[in-house]
Amino acid sequence: MSASVKSLLSTLTTRGPHQVLRGNLGIAGQPGVVYTPAKGRNLPAVAFGHGWLTGAGNYRRLLEHLASWGYVAAAPDTERGPIPSHLNLANDLLTTLDICAGVRLGTGDISVHPDRLALAGHAMGAGAAVIAASQREVAAVAALFPAPTAPSAESLAPGIEAPALILAGSSDIDSVSSNAIPLAAAWGGPAILRSVEKASPNGLVEGRRALSALGAGKYEPRTERLTRALLTGFLNYTVLGDKTYKPFADPEALLPHSEIVDPEAVDEEHEAEPPQKLPILQLVQALRK
């Protein structure tokens, strides 16, 4: 592992060079938030989907971080109830991208390049991002600690050619609450599956959560810092084409505190194991299409 890669990862965990502005997507008819650099033309944009029983406000640090590195980062704030529609959230992500690409932001001096669009999400929002990517061509997709959705993201993944970054916690990557392995195995374009050291699937979520009573876990600052660095580096290479960050999109590259996982190898290891029962949280998530 080169010192330059370690240095890049360390740099990407910290705030970028841009001053950040916050806006309300509701002004354009879509409930949600948008974070942008203070100025810039032909910027890249990322539409981000939230997890189950959370909202856009639970990912403020992550969205601000992307904006500080020069991205327009927007998140719809819909489907927050206990039985959300994953299809509706996917449609809201597409609407969010349309707003970012078609509306002058800020005081009119911020614009987005139509070919520099990405979709990302956490947990069920990761699945919604994949559903959205199956309906629209984008430059990149990031599925952060993905959870099962209806329709299943892995059933749509073979038709998606955009490069993908798929992250999962090292302890739950092959559990029934994560579909990271089948998603990576089914992806039609280039895909990188990384397990994140000492990360739980809900470590990204900031603030108090309705799921805490169900044992869903607490916010993990370390997980959030590492995830935002891996995500930013991946987007810098795939969306912006900055070769400095090529290791973040290289399936052979070693990055600190994470490991590349071969989904085909994992599938073979667990082929003979009996099926596990679906936990209550994931069963509820799959109830509504």
Query: How high is the pLDDT of residue 98?
Result: 96
Read off the amino acid at residue 132: A
pLDDT value at 81 more than 60: yes
Burial class (CB in 10 A: 0-12, 13-18, 19+), 68: buried
**Terminal Cα-to-Cα distance of the chain (whole angstroms):** 43
For 189-245, what is each residue's pLDDT tens digit? Answer: 999 999 999 998 889 999 865 555 555 568 899 999 999 999 999 999 999 999 999
Residue 149 near residue 159 (C-beta atoms within 8 A): no
Query: How high is the pLDDT of residue 286?
Result: 44
For residue 100, the surrounding DSSP H or E stretch is helix 86-102
The residues near 225 (Cβ < 8 Å, ≥ 6 apart) are 13
Residue with tokens 């629209």: 136
pLDDT value at 38 more than 80: yes
Residue 154: band (very low, low, confident or very high) from pLDDT cuts 50, 70, 90: very high
Query: How high is the pLDDT of residue 275?
Result: 46
**SS3 of 241, please?**
coil
pLDDT value at 4 more than 70: yes
Q: In the predicted model, what is the mean pLDDT of residues 162-180? A: 90
Q: In the predicted model, what is the mean pLDDT of residues 267-275? A: 49
Give just the sign of the alpha carbon dihedral 116, 120, 125, 129.
positive
Percent of the chain surpassing pLDDT 90: 78
Residue 220 near residue 203 (C-beta atoms within 8 A): yes
Q: Which domains does the chain have, with CATH numbers?
A: 3-285 (3.40.50.1820)
Strand partners, 117: 45
Query: How high is the pLDDT of residue 289?
Result: 39
Residue 21 near residue 59 (C-beta atoms within 8 A): no
For 250-264, what is each residue's pLDDT tens digit? Answer: 999 999 999 999 998
pLDDT value at 25 more than 90: yes
For 85-136, what is each residue's pLDDT tens digit? Answer: 999 999 999 999 999 999 878 777 899 999 999 999 999 999 999 999 999 9
How far apart CA 246 and CA 234 sit, in angstroms, is 8
The rounded mean pLDDT for the chain is: 89
State how far the alpha carbon of 22 is from the alpha carbons of 25, 35, 98, 270, in Å: 10, 5, 18, 45
